[in-house]
């Protein structure tokens, strides 16, 4: 079964790698958010050569993901994995990776001093409460 879904990349999770019976493996996971009326966040995994392709993308990129659903049983519990086999940028634009760390500064108003707050309440001679 092969499925496709489009969305915006919202997060990259910590990658993993190791040595298995079939040789070296690499796994990276990422989360996209759909643009539906009720947006959904979906976590996908990319293995080996597909994991290397994720380096071309950054948080905020709009992508179309083609994937397969796979489940496996371990110790009488079932685990489901959404494994990508293709990822491409939407709108025909090539993905532009952004720096991994960006410093964002929120512009918030400076907090009011205690004196200015007390003075504002002191000038309020009339009680606005109806009871």
User: Could you tell me if 82 and 72 are in contact, meaning their C-beta atoms sit under 8 angstroms apart?
Assistant: no
| pTM recorded for the entire structure | 0.65
pLDDT (0 to 100) of residue 123 = 55
Q: Catalogue all structural domains in the chain, each as residue range(s) with its CATH number.
A: 3-92 (2.40.50.140)
Structure token pair of residue 22? 């079939």
Q: How far apart are CA 26 and CA 131, in angstroms?
A: 68
User: Could you tell me if 50 and 2 are in contact, meaning their C-beta atoms sit under 8 angstroms apart?
Assistant: no
* Chain segment 62-88, per-residue pLDDT in tens: 999 999 999 999 999 999 999 999 999
State the number of CA atoms in the 13 A half-sphere of 97 facing the CB: 9
Query: Average model confidence (pLDDT) for the chain?
Result: 80
User: Could you tell me if 44 and 30 are in contact, meaning their C-beta atoms sit under 8 angstroms apart?
Assistant: yes
């Amino acid at each position: 079964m092969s499925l496709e879904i489009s969305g915006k990349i919202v997060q990259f999770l910590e990658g993993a790698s190791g040595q298995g019976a079939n040789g070296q493996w690499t796994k990276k996971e990422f989360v996209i958010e759909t643009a539906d009326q009720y947006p959904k966040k979906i976590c996908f995994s990319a293995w080996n050569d597909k994991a290397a392709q994720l380096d071309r993308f950054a948080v905020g990129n709009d992508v179309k993901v083609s994937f397969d659903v796979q489940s496996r049983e371990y110790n009488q519990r079932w685990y489901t994995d959404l494994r990508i086999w293709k990822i491409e940028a939407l709108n025909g634009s090539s993905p532009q990776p952004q720096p991994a760390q960006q410093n964002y500064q929120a512009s918030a108003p400076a907090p009011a001093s205690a004196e200015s707050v007390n003075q504002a309440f002191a000038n309020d001679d009339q009680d606005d409460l109806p009871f």
